[in-house]
């Protein structure tokens, strides 16, 4: 084991200073900036609240990356910082020219503490205490400046956790003194009324990523839509499992859909769109895509019903010609002309890196139509065609075409159609023969790519598995 380096003189001085609080409180405002990070870490690890408060008031950098030290939010530390900010904002203290502009509560900027403290070992988050925290109320002096508080919203419970509850209460009582920004919003489980209350505290134009990963009714989505429309700088939007109540009349249903889609007009920066299990999307995809003003780079439409008109418009939409990632997994493409998909792939051929067509239930004759377009996708690195009904002839032709794609690294194909009705052992044997026939052609490229086939249940684990064509073995999981 490598011996631990002896403490530096600066570290020894910081430890010594913590033992004399009165001296520390008088000394901190006069210290050079380079001494602050190490001293702050020492005060934070030792829970020296008064020293922390003075350090916040005298902080000599534009950003205080507090979130990097809070592996789990610690209310006592948060309130200590907020007390220090209170005096700083209201002008009660003036130790030196105020440089602090951002209090960073996200778990980022670890390198700041590592660089200044000389290594990666900064104090871990103190154990949570169970003391009741009391917010200070009453009149406040006139503010001198405003401050930015940067957070990440991860709403996974029915109600707000104590950390956010205390923070937002403090913010609400100090309107005009500071503003809360949030780049990433994730909603996993929370009533829409509580979601809206949270969003009222945040500058919505600061949000860049939105993910709604919980089941919502269409009526709930419509209530969220006005807030979404104010997130004008969003570049990534992910919505999943939105269902339409059977009690809605057709007229009311269309009203709610129109209300939601109308706010898409404000998302000028949207580049990444994920729509998963959206039960209302059929016959409305065109309306949604027509709202886009920026070219999309990522488009995921999964487990949704689409109409012929939806797919036709998707193929000629002006904002999808430069796609890098296209996923239509779980979209039944059997009812549509494959020519629309072919046109879409041809338009994106120069940029497309990932193509996911899993469980599209395409048959061989329809899949043949898009083979020339796939072979034109010169940037393709991943191709997924699992759970389609493709005979050996189509798979052989597809593999011969993908040989020309020099950047392709992973290919996922379904079990050939001819083998699907066979017993497991016989199916595996025939698959090995089929792969053996292809190996001679693929050998020059096999070192730089993986070619896998979905199989019948594995005899060993009885799970759906992947057959590695190169090693002739079953892989029971597919790495991403």
Q: What is the pLDDT of residues 418-454, one digit of tens each?
A: 888 788 778 878 888 888 777 777 766 666 788 888 8
Instruction: Determine contact, residues 354/327, Cβ cutoff 8 Å.
Output: yes
Q: What is the pLDDT of residue 145?
A: 55
Mean pLDDT: which of 13-22, 40-49, 449-458 is highest? 40-49
Instruction: Determine contact, residues 29/54, Cβ cutoff 8 Å.
Output: yes
Angle in degrees, CA 410, 416, 421, rounded to 5: 140
Element (H, E) at 325: strand 325-327
Q: What is the band of 198 on the pLDDT scale with cuts at 50, 70, 90?
A: very high
Nearest alpha-carbon partner for 299 in 310, 245, 188, 334: 310
C-alpha to C-alpha distance for 390 and 320, rounded to whole angstroms: 27
- Reduce the DSSP state of residue 66 to 3 states and report it: helix
C-alpha to C-alpha distance for 412 and 387, rounded to whole angstroms: 10
Q: How far is CA 377 from CA 21, 348, 406, in A?
A: 66, 8, 10
- Average pLDDT score over residue span 274-292: 94
Q: Is the pLDDT of residue 311 over 90?
A: yes
Residue with tokens 């070619």, as numbered in its chain: 451
Q: Is the pLDDT of residue 461 over 50?
A: yes
Q: How far is CA 60 from CA 112, 193, 383, in A?
A: 13, 40, 51
Which CATH number does 296-385+392-400 carry?
A: 3.80.10.10
Q: What is the pLDDT of residue 393?
A: 93
Q: Is the pLDDT of residue 72 over 80?
A: no
Residue with tokens 């072919």, as numbered in its chain: 342
Q: Is the pLDDT of residue 39 over 90?
A: no
The values of phi and psi at residue 192, to 5°, are -60, -30
Q: Is the pLDDT of residue 291 over 60?
A: yes
Instruction: Determine contact, residues 171/195, Cβ cutoff 8 Å.
Output: no
C-alpha to C-alpha distance for 422 and 138, rounded to whole angstroms: 78
Q: Is the pLDDT of residue 142 over 70?
A: no
- Average pLDDT score over residue span 107-112: 83
Average pLDDT of the chain?
A: 83
Residues in the chain: 480
**In the chain, % of residues over pLDDT 70:** 83
Q: What is the pLDDT of residue 144?
A: 46
Q: What is the pLDDT of residue 473?
A: 59
């Amino acid at each position: 084991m490598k011996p631990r380096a002896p403490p530096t003189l600066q570290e020894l001085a910081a430890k010594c200073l913590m033992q004399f609080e009165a001296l520390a409180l008088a000394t901190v405002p006069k210290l050079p900036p380079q001494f602050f990070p190490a001293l702050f870490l020492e005060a934070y690890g030792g829970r020296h609240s008064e020293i922390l408060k003075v350090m916040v008031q005298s902080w000599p950098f534009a950003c205080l990356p507090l979130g990097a030290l809070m592996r789990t939010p610690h209310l006592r530390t948060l309130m200590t910082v907020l007390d220090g900010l209170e005096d700083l904002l209201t002008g009660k203290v003036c130790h030196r020219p105020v440089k602090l502009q951002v209090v960073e509560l996200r778990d980022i900027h670890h390198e700041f503490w590592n660089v200044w403290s000389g290594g990666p070992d900064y104090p871990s988050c103190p154990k949570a205490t169970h003391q009741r925290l009391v917010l200070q109320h009453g009149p406040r002096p006139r503010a001198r400046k405003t401050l930015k508080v940067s957070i990440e919203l991860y709403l996974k419970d029915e109600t707000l956790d104590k950390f956010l509850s205390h923070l937002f209460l403090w913010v609400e009582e100090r309107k005009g003194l500071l503003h809360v920004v949030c780049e990433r919003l994730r909603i996993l489980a929370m009533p829409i009324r509580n979601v809206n209350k949270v969003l009222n505290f945040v500058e919505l134009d600061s949000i860049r990523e939105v993910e709604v990963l919980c089941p919502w009714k269409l009526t709930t989505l419509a209530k969220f839509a006005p807030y979404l429309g104010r997130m004008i700088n969003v570049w990534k939007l992910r919505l999943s499992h939105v269902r339409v109540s059977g009690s809605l009349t057709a007229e009311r249903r269309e009203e709610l859909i129109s209300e939601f889609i109308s706010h898409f007009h404000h998302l000028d920066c949207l580049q990444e769109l994920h729509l998963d299990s959206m039960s209302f999307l059929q016959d409305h995809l065109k309306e949604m895509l027509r709202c886009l003003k920026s070219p999309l780079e990522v488009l995921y439409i999964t487990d949704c019903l689409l109409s012929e008109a939806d797919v036709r418009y998707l193929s000629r939409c002006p904002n999808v010609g430069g796609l890098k990632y296209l996923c239509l997994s779980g979209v039944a493409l059997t009812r549509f002309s494959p020519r629309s998909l072919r046109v879409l792939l041809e338009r994106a051929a120069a940029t497309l890196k990932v193509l996911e067509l899993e469980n599209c239930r395409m048959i061989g004759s329809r899949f043949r139509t898009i083979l020339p377009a796939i072979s034109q996708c010169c940037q393709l690195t991943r191709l997924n065609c699992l759970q389609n009904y493709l005979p050996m002839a189509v798979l052989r032709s597809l593999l011969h075409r993908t040989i020309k794609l020099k950047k392709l690294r992973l290919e996922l194909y379904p079990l050939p159609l001819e083998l699907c009705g066979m017993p497991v052992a016989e199916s595996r044997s025939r698959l090995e023969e089929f792969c053996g026939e292809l190996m001679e052609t693929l050998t020059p490229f096999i070192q730089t790519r993986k070619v896998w086939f979905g199989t019948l249940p594995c005899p060993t684990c009885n799970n759906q598995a992947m057959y590695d064509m190169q090693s002739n073995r079953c892989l029971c999981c597919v790495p991403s």
